[in-house]
Structure 1
Amino acid sequence: MLESLNTVVLSRWQFALTAIFHMLWPVLTTGMGIYLVVIEGLWLKTKNLTYYHHARFWSKLYILNFGIGVASGLPMAFQFGLNWAPFSLAVGDFFGTVLGFEGTMAFMLEASFLGIMVFGWQRVPPLMHWVATICVAFGANLSTFWILSANSWLQTPAGGVFVDGKFQVQDYFQAIANPFMVNSFLHMFFATLETSLFVIGGISAWYLLQNRLPNFFTKSLKVVLVMALIVAPLQIFVGHLSAEQVYRYQPAKLAAMEAQWETIPAGTSASWSLIAIPDEATQTNKVDVKIPGLLGYLLELKPTLDSPVLGLKEWAPSDRPHLIGLIYYSFRTMIAIGLYLAALVSVTVFIWWRTGLAGDRLGNYKWLWWGWIFAGPLGYIAVEAGWIVRCVGRQPWIVYGQMRTAEAASALPPQVVLFSLSGLVALYTIFFFAALFFGSRIIQKGPNVALPVPGLRNAEELEIRIKMAEHQPDSRPLETQQ
């Protein structure tokens, strides 16, 4: 029994490691792909050569993230057959099919057109290159759709029945479009896009703080602001809808998110916990600061609820989530970051409206650029925190209400899992520092404005015009393509 428990715990730790690390890279590629589509489209529409050089500069970071994302994702896929063989056997008819769709439809589409996006600037017409960039971005986000569909099915299984411990698919479309799927995909879609926008904005702010190529990076920041002004509030709204779904379909997870031990009866005021110190041993909160009526407004838009909010004590300890403190504060971390990012966008847009964010005035806003630099990694933290809530809060079930995590792990010796876990820690450490090294080199070097532009006959003349434009007080479009 002890050996089995250790194997399950180690396998869970290994999957958590691979998921948390792998998540860092596709988050940026899926969101930055959309930014590249926008920035390249602006180049084709306005003929502003600065947009072309933005597309070339930011695509370098895209390529770096794509490569590490592929390398770090392979161990994650192999684990289903190695560490979680009983799970794969039980649900493979659906789960494996959907992951196969992700590989054949989405990843292959992204990888196929990536070569044109990277090497095709001088080999295909500009419009064809833009189409390739669109296909790359679409493929990356199609991957998000299939992965979120599969994971949402684990949260709300649909489209079939379990017979003798094996899931038999009766309706693939119903299984794919399970109750959690739409909001889960939208929440992740906006999360990746918002994270990418603030990474781009944070890097742009770093250049502005140094007064390095101010007109160039003011332009990228303005594009980020226009997009983030739409994305940031939408992400908060979709996050709210996702929380409502948890209230409806996974009440035990909601109780863990709120560290709610006692049931709040229908018709009574439902307060929202601001700060708490959960104690699972005593099934109480040592500290619990609440805002009266707020949970009711969040769940049903009124202080008193029509339905009860069930407390953790409604379930036996073996049937409810553990690590309540981790779930509770991961959820609040995600909320706090979302509000900070939305506030930062609002403040920056207000300053833009008042001053125009002109190149000769940017030195007055060092505090603002530090705010953007600080925001750069926050999106990653929010995404990881959200997945902790989503997956740790689902426990003890791997398929909610149908299959326990302890039943899904392969019967491997603990030392074997520990060996593979240690190897992955070492490998991912190398990947991480390699990404920091090459990423910092790309950022330190900056954009290469001497790159030849499709359609221009004299690259040397272009370089002179770009450098002259960098000394102008505004960011007016340069000459159009010939």
Structure 2
Amino acid sequence: MPPDTLSTLISRIDFALISSVHILFPPLTIGLAIILFVSEALWVKTQDERWYRLCRFFEKLFIVNFGAGVATGVTMEMAFGILYGPFSQAAGPFFGQVLGYETITAFMYEAGFIGLMIFGWGKISRKMHLFATFNVALSSTLSAMWILVANSWMQTPTGVEFKDGIFEVTNWLAALFNPNVFAAFPHMLLAAVELSLTFVVAVCAWFVLKRRNVDLFLRPLKYALVALAVVAAVQVYMGDVLGENVLDNKPAALAAMEGQYDTYDKDGNVNNAWNIIGWPNKEGTGLAWSIKIPHALSLIETKTWNGAVEGLNSFPKDEQPPVVLPFYSFRVMAAIGGALLLLGLWGCWLRYRGQLTERLASQQRLFLMACTAAVALPYIAVIAGWWTREIGRQPWIVYGMMTVKDGMSHMSTALATFWLIGFAVFETAVVLGTIWFLLKVCRMGPDLTSPVAGEGHEHLGELDLPEAGKADHPEYVRPI
């Protein structure tokens, strides 16, 4: 293998590692922020101290995950410049602007309120703190929206012209609201909520299984299971919408995802069957073997019995994406989505039968162990979905306009290896450190003894103190 080809391979492995690790953290930040807001709103409305204790406990887990997301996100932005210099320069007029919008309207927005959310307990009013938590949830969602706008533009580039090695924006609205983003962003947002609900279910189920604070964790467990069943069902629909979008805009990517090599013809020589599993032949012209369901691919993608789904052999060989990784990563993602739906329905069934009470819930050991173990599934699904999306776009970095090879930095094999080792060490340290701190917080459990934030302060402004000395009183909290 020539050195330049080897360095390219190493750089691609490097960026695959960096992006795969980073995608683990933002979904939990987005979804858990929404869940924290809902929990805190319930506390503010009902004055039930248990919601407050849950908020403070899950907020600790949120902080750990948020820090890891920032660290790996900064690393990925570095990697764009180091590993994909030509692409960064060429796409700067659009890509750089969008990341700038994300920084201003989401990251800086989030930074302004996350300090209030974390350190504002007891120092600002409850409603103001709830407002801060709401803005953290909103800004996290906005951040995801901008990132998906940028990535979706790479999938379906519109509103630009590629001149002299630079993407010149000719229509900002067409570039921002590109065809892929309307399906990709809701799909990713639902994935974030689904992952976060599974995370909450796993943590709560672990405490109930261990018979620790059952009265505290059982109620959010039951709520989260119902929400998981609903969100997982909606995600199935949204995944189908995204699949149709890929069929319309990236037919080669869909063909790779489905292992579809030949296109249906009216004489019936090729049938648009859905391949459950299979493996490409040595020539790369079809599947050597497969287990398939006749006509199912047409029904899934076109909603007709014999609707045409273009096969890979319709595209030039050098424009065909790999098949094995997107084919199986897509199936892993879909299977996990189905498993999480079944888990949510299982929980709903137990709740309907009255088995999830404080007296009986701990006896449902199989169910609780399944809930706890399920925490890994949405993380695997998110990585699998990201691989499906990114590998399915190959060989393009900007679909149909710029190849990955043209967008990569030219460096020696030694330098590429240096960056791979350096990034791998850092990413491994972040992942292991995050897991360690998350487990530590769970082992410590919730704080049930400290005073509730703001409790007893509502009337401190009426203390019989000189007006000039009120602000200096150790128990005085200035109302906001």
CA shift for structure 1 position 62: 0.5
Contact 2:246 2:254 in 1 (8 A): yes
1:38-437 equivalence runs, <5 A: 38-265=38-265, 269-305=271-307, 308-322=308-322, 324-355=323-354, 357-437=356-436
Cα 1:115–1:189 change in 2 (3 A) is same
Runs of 5+ unmatched residues, structure 2: 458-480
What SS is found at the alignment partner of 2:291? strand
Q: What is the CA–CA distance in structure 2 between the aligned matches of 1:280 and 1:250, rounded to whole Å?
A: 25
Q: 1:134-192 deviations in whole A, cap 9, x for unaligned?
A: 11111111110000000000000011211223211011121010000011000000001
Cα 1:110–1:266 change in 2 (3 A) is farther
AA matched with 1:283: T
Contact 1:265 1:309 in 2 (8 A): no
AA matched with 2:389: R
- Say what the alpha-carbon RMSD is for the aligned residues: 1.6
Contact 1:266 1:309 in 2 (8 A): no
Q: What is the CA–CA distance in structure 2 between the aligned matches of 1:101 and 1:247, rounded to whole Å?
A: 30
Q: 1:103-160 deviations in whole A, cap 9, x for unaligned?
A: 1211111122111111101100000001100111111111100000000000000112
Q: What is the CA–CA distance in structure 2 between the aligned matches of 1:226 and 1:92, rounded to whole Å?
A: 44
Cα 1:415–1:363 change in 2 (3 A) is same
CA shift for structure 1 position 262: 1.7
Contact 2:229 2:342 in 1 (8 A): no
Contact 2:28 2:192 in 1 (8 A): yes
Q: What is the CA–CA distance in structure 2 between the aligned matches of 1:259 and 1:114, rounded to whole Å?
A: 45
Q: Which stretch of the first structure deviates more once superposed, 123-132 or 202-211? A: 202-211
Contact 2:263 2:272 in 1 (8 A): no
Q: Which stretch of the first structure deviates more once superposed, 260-269 or 227-236? A: 260-269
What SS is found at the alignment partner of 2:263? coil
Q: 1:345-375 deviations in whole A, cap 9, x for unaligned?
A: 1121111111061110113311111221121
Cα 1:54–1:267 change in 2 (3 A) is farther
Contact 1:267 1:304 in 2 (8 A): no
What SS is found at the alignment partner of 1:304? coil
Q: What is the CA–CA distance in structure 1 between the aligned matches of 2:112 and 2:267, rounded to whole Å?
A: 57
Aligned pair count? 455
TM-score, structure 2 length as denominator? 0.92
**2:467 aligned partner:** none
CA shift for structure 1 position 437: 1.4
Give the % identical residues: 38
Runs of 5+ unmatched residues, structure 1: 459-482
Q: What is the CA–CA distance in structure 1 between the aligned matches of 2:110 and 2:136, rounded to whole Å?
A: 4
TM-score, structure 1 length as denominator? 0.92
CA shift for structure 1 position 410: 1.2
AA matched with 1:375: A
CA shift for structure 1 position 8: 2.1
AA matched with 2:424: V
What SS is found at the alignment partner of 2:290? strand
Q: Could you list the runs of 4 or more consecutive aligned residues of structure 1 that deviate by over 6 angstroms after TM superposition?
A: none
